[in-house]
Amino acid sequence: MNRSELSQLIRKKQSFLCVGLDTDITLIPPHLLKCDDPVFEFNKAIIDATHDIAIAYKPNLAFYESRGLKGWQSLEKTMNYLAQFKNEIFTIADAKRGDIGNTSKMYAKTFFEHLNFDSVTVAPYMGEDSVTPFLEYKDKWVILLGLTSNKGSSDFQFLETGNGKLYETVIRKAQQWGTADQLMFVIGATHPEQFKSIRALAPDYFFLVPGVGSQGGDLDKICENGLNAQTGLIINSARQIMYASKGEDFAQAAKAEALKVKQAMGKFLAPL
Q: Cite the active site residues.
A: 96
Among 42, 57, 63, 137, binds a second copy (CB under 8 A): 63
Among 138, 162, 193, 200, binds a second copy (CB under 8 A): 162
Q: How far is CA 122 from CA 33, 94, 208, 256, in A?
A: 33, 8, 12, 31
Stretch that binds a second copy, among 1-9, 84-92, 141-149, 243-251 (CB under 8 A): 141-149
Length of the chain: 272
**Phi/psi of residue 256, nearest 5 degrees:** -65, -40
Q: List C-alpha distances in Å: 69 to 64, 72, 95, 232.
A: 9, 5, 17, 36
Cβ-based nearer residue to a second copy, 53 or 134: 134
- Assess contact for 220 and 264: CB atoms under 8 A: yes
How crowded is the C-beta side of 183, counted as CA atoms within 13 Å?
28
CA distance 19 to 97: 20
Nearest CB to a second copy, comparing residues 8 and 169 = 169
Min CB(239)–a second copy separation in Å: 9
66 binds a second copy (CB under 8 A): yes
Of the pair 127, 247, the CB lying nearest a second copy is at 127
Minimum CB distance to a second copy, residue 135 (Å): 13
- Using DSSP, state whether 96 is helix, strand or coil: strand
Torsion sign, CA atoms 57, 192, 231, 146: negative
Instruction: State which of positions 201-220 bind a second copy (CB under 8 A).
Output: 210
Residue 120 CB, nearest distance to a second copy (Å)? 12
Binding site for a second copy (CB under 8 A): 22, 24, 60, 62-63, 65-69, 72-73, 76, 94, 96-104, 106-107, 109-110, 113-115, 123-131, 145, 148-157, 159-162, 166, 169-170, 173, 210
